[in-house]
Amino acid sequence: MKRTMIYLSDEIRQGLRKLAFESNISIAELVRRAVDAVYGEDIEDIRIAEEEIANYQAHPESAISLAELRRQKKVKNPPHSLPCQSRIKYGTGHGTGSLRKGEHESNSIKLKLSENESHGIWN
Domain shared by 17 and 56, yes or no: yes
Residue 18 lies in a domain: yes
Give the start-end residues of each E strand in 58-119. 102-105, 110-113
The more confident residue out of 19 and 88 is: 19
Question: Total domain count for the chain?
Answer: 2
Residue 108: domain span: 76-123
Residue 38 lies in a domain: yes
Last-in-domain residue among 20, 41, 63? 63
Instruction: Kindly tell me if the per-residue pLDDT of 114 is higher than 70.
Output: no
Q: Cα–Cα distance between 36 and 26 in angstroms, integer?
A: 15
The more confident residue out of 72 and 10 is: 10
Q: Are 3 and 31 in contact (CB under 8 A)?
A: no
| Average pLDDT score over residue span 116-123 | 43
The more confident residue out of 116 and 61 is: 61
Residue 69 lies in a domain: no
Q: Are 98 and 88 in contact (CB under 8 A)?
A: no
Residue 5 lies in a domain: no
Domain shared by 17 and 58, yes or no: yes
Q: What is the pLDDT of residue 80?
A: 56
Q: What is the pLDDT of residue 65?
A: 86
| Average pLDDT score over residue span 88-99 | 44
Q: What is the pLDDT of residue 64?
A: 86
Residues 6+ apart with CB under 8 A from 110: 103, 104
| Average pLDDT score over residue span 7-15 | 96
**Per-residue CA distances from 30 to 12, 88, 92, 118 (Å):** 12, 46, 49, 39
Domain shared by 14 and 48, yes or no: yes
Residue 4 lies in a domain: no
At position 118, the amino acid (one-letter code) is S
Residue 1 lies in a domain: no
Residue 68 lies in a domain: no
User: What are the backbone dihedrals phi and psi of residue 112, each rounded to the nearest 5 degrees, phi first?
Assistant: -125, 115
The more confident residue out of 84 and 12 is: 12
Residue 99 lies in a domain: yes
Domain shared by 16 and 59, yes or no: yes
Q: Cα–Cα distance between 31 and 102 in angstroms, integer?
A: 46
Domain shared by 57 and 89, yes or no: no
Domain shared by 80 and 119, yes or no: yes
